[in-house]
């Protein structure tokens, strides 16, 4: 979380009890940095030909061209109970209705951000245009990349179903997305990428996490995650359940617990450790939340690496020193792993 993150009022009765854990408050993680707004998009238009729906009935209701090779789509999602957007970057040789298929990269955003985050903060469109790849950046809201537990009742929002089933099927049935997929995410989006890869073996050839929490049940982490979501105006107990009381559901979504299921998937994860600014970071006070949060995430990342080493699961880790929980660090890490992501899904340079 950085000073540019949009702050939302707490809307839950018990927020003060969570705030009592002041250390957890300071070390809160899973928040993506937000920069200047995106360029004004053209008005959305209804598609002339009826797009093919997903198995759940999710459907594309509008498409807006926002760049030479970029479109925003509006998805009416039964899994979410509302309509949200996704941005799609299409390869140069893409044509509607073609019989060919293209490899796909999913780019997941962090908390208090949206589907435009990667496009606003990086040169992902330029990176993508160098390859014959489709890049999809779906809305993740503050959904924590999971189907919400809702005190054991289930129901909406089902963010995992939205991403892994609805968005996937809509891309495959309407934009020529193929079966070779990879995922990258920053902050909570990074945790989502690794969690999805473990919970859906074979879905992704490669998954990359940039400063994501990869050991959710470590000491202090449940409090951090709950406070983060409470600060977003949510009931955090509704997401994965109550820690300890609903530990089985927490474990079922925890990359550390799910690590054995990552065997066979290419894995990359990175984070800072020192709590000091890195190259390109703003000049902020030592107690800046973006610096302090990366200390906690760095320790968490080291714990996850030990788990992967113990299981003898191949992976690439870059646990660096200086670097804030913000885009300058994530741009460097994304640039480093981008060629590997492209190679893993057979995306050729053009």
Answer yes or no: is pLDDT of 52 > 50: yes
Q: What's the confidence (pLDDT) of residue 49?
A: 73
Q: What's the confidence (pLDDT) of residue 219?
A: 93
Hey, what's the torsion of the CAs at 80, 159, 88, 182, to 10 degrees?
Answer: -160
Averaged confidence pLDDT in the chain: 89
Q: Give the strands of the sheet with 316-319, arranged side by side.
A: 59-67, 70-77, 82-89, 134-138, 102-108, 177-186, 206-210, 266-271, 316-319
Answer yes or no: is pLDDT of 38 > 60: no
Q: What's the confidence (pLDDT) of residue 130?
A: 98
Tens-place pLDDT, residues 151-181: 999 999 999 999 999 999 999 999 999 999 9
Question: Do 185 and 209 form a contact (C-beta atoms < 8 A)?
Answer: yes
pLDDT category of residue 11 using cuts at 50, 70 and 90: very low
Architecture of domain 15-344: 3-Layer(aba) Sandwich (3.40)
Answer yes or no: is pLDDT of 2 > 70: no
What angle is formed at CA 3 by the lines to CA 225 and CA 296, rounded to 5 degrees?
A: 35
pTM score: 0.88
Hey, what's the torsion of the CAs at 226, 158, 61, 112, to 10 degrees?
Answer: 10
Q: What's the confidence (pLDDT) of residue 334?
A: 98
Q: What's the confidence (pLDDT) of residue 47?
A: 59
Tens-place pLDDT, residues 203-247: 999 999 999 999 999 999 999 999 999 998 999 999 999 999 999
Question: Do 198 and 262 form a contact (C-beta atoms < 8 A)?
Answer: yes
Burial of 153 (0-12, 13-18, 19+ CB in 10 A): exposed
pLDDT > 70: percent of the chain: 86
Tens-place pLDDT, residues 255-290: 999 999 999 999 999 999 999 999 999 999 999 999
Answer yes or no: is pLDDT of 83 > 70: yes
């Amino acid at each position: 979380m950085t000073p540019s993150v949009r702050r939302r009022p707490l809307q839950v009765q018990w927020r003060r009890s969570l705030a009592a854990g002041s250390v957890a408050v300071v070390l809160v993680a899973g928040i993506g940095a937000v920069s200047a707004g995106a360029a004004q998009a053209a008005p959305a238009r209804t598609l002339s030909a009826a797009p093919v729906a997903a198995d759940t009935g999710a459907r594309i209701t509008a498409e807006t061209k926002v760049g030479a090779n970029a479109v925003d789509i509006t998805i009416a999602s039964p899994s979410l109970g509302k309509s949200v957007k996704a941005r799609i970057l299409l390869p140069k040789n893409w044509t509607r209705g073609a019989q060919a298929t293209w490899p796909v990269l999913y780019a997941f955003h962090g908390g208090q951000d949206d589907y435009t985050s990667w496009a606003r903060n990086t040169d992902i469109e330029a990176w993508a245009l160098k390859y014959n790849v489709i890049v999809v950046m779906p809305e993740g809201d503050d959904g924590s990349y999971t189907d919400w537990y809702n005190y054991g009742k289930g129901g909406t929002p089902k963010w995992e179903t939205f991403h892994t089933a609805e968005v996937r099927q809509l891309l495959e049935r309407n934009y020529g997305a193929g079966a070779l997929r990879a995922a990258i995410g920053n902050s909570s989006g990074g945790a989502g990428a690794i969690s999805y890869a473990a919970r859906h073996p074979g879905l992704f050839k490669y998954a990359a996490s940039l400063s994501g929490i990869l050991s959710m049940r470590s000491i202090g982490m449940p409090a951090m995650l709950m406070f983060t979501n409470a600060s977003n105006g949510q009931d955090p107990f509704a997401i994965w359940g109550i820690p300890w009381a609903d530990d089985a559901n927490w474990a079922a979504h925890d990359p550390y617990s799910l690590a054995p299921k990552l065997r066979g998937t290419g894995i990359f994860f990175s984070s800072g450790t020192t709590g000091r600014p890195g190259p390109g970071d703003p000049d902020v006070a030592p107690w800046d939340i973006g610096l302090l949060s990366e200390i906690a995430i760095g320790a968490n990342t080291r714990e996850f690496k030990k788990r992967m080493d113990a299981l003898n699961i191949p992976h690439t880790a870059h646990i660096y020193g200086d670097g804030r929980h913000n885009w300058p660090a994530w741009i460097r890490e994304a640039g480093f792993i981008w060629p590997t992501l492209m190679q893993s899904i057979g995306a050729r340079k053009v």
